Amino acid sequence: MAATSSACACAAVALASFPSAASTSAPSRVSASSHRGQRHSRAATVRCSSTSPNVSQGAPAPAPPKPQIELEFVGPKPGADGSFPVDRAEAASGEKLLRDVMNENKIELYAAYGKVMNCGGGGSCGTCIVEIIDGKELLNERTNTENRYLKKKPDSWRLACQTIVGNKENSGKVVVQRLPQWKR
């Protein structure tokens, strides 16, 4: 048991601290009765702290904050004031797919057909199209699935269910055009 071995260590320290207690054969100038009393008194002052938290080491340092990717999603059509609507979100770098970030933040991803007929992120419908306006270098490379579905589309187009936001180490801002096929 850990408590037993710790107690032994404490006893060793105590004996080392008080050599007269460690050796009964060493000459002593005190009488037997007072020597016994002294030993008893010393023993009573020894405290074993092995079961207490090690305060000298302190609590473990908190984990450093994860790098974050800031995302902006630009709508495909201008509002009444002529400006394009922008939604914002944030994700820990390298931990999520763009599709999941958009779904979690209730940011519209699919056009009419995709809304009802998408494959749920399986990479088999090609309807989760976005365009990366800025921050492409913070994402993974296009996958084979994307190359197949987006063969004749601009390089900046991606499938959101294939796009990993960040690589766990990088941070920065990615600007995404929603529904680039609707853009005008």
Backbone angles phi, psi at 32, to 5 degrees: -60, -45
Residue nearer to ligand FES on the CB measure, 67 or 123: 123
For residues 50 and 11, the answer to whether their CB atoms sit within 8 Å is no
H helices within the chain, ranges in order? 2-17, 19-22, 32-45, 98-104, 112-117, 144-149
Binding of ligand FES at residue 118 (CB under 6 A)?
Answer: yes
As measured in angstroms, the least distance from the Cβ of 145 to ligand FES is: 7
Asked whether position 161 contacts ligand FES by CB under 6 A, the answer is yes
User: Would you count residue 121 as binding ligand FES (CB under 6 A)?
Assistant: yes
- Near ligand FES by CB under 6 A, which window of 1-9, 43-51, 113-121, 167-175? 113-121
**One of 127, 130, 135, 158 touching ligand FES (CB under 6 A):** 127
Query: Three-class SS of residue 86?
Result: strand
Which residue among 7, 125, 133, 175 contacts ligand FES (CB under 6 A)? Answer: 125
Amino acid identity, position 59: A
Q: What are phi and psi of 102, to 5 degrees?
A: -65, -45
- Please tell me whether residue 91 binds ligand FES under the rule CB under 6 A: no
- Of the ranges 27-35, 41-49, 82-90, 125-133, which one interacts with ligand FES (CB under 6 A)? 125-133
Q: Which is nearer to ligand FES, 89 or 102 (CB)?
A: 102
Nearer to ligand FES, 93 or 163 (CB): 163
Q: How far apart are CA 105 and CA 99, in angstroms?
A: 10
- Between CA 111 and CA 120, with CA 115 as vertex, the angle to 5 degrees is 120
Q: Applying CB under 6 A, does 150 fall inside the site for ligand FES? A: no
| Total residues binding ligand FES (CB under 6 A) | 12
- What SS3 state is found at 68? strand
Q: Cβ of residue 93: shortest distance to ligand FES, in angstroms? A: 21
Q: Does 179 bind ligand FES (CB under 6 A)?
A: no
Q: What is the 3-state secondary structure of 145-175? A: HHHHHCCCCCCCEEEHHHCEECCCCCCEEEE
Residues found near ligand FES in the complex (CB under 6 A): 118-119, 121-128, 159, 161
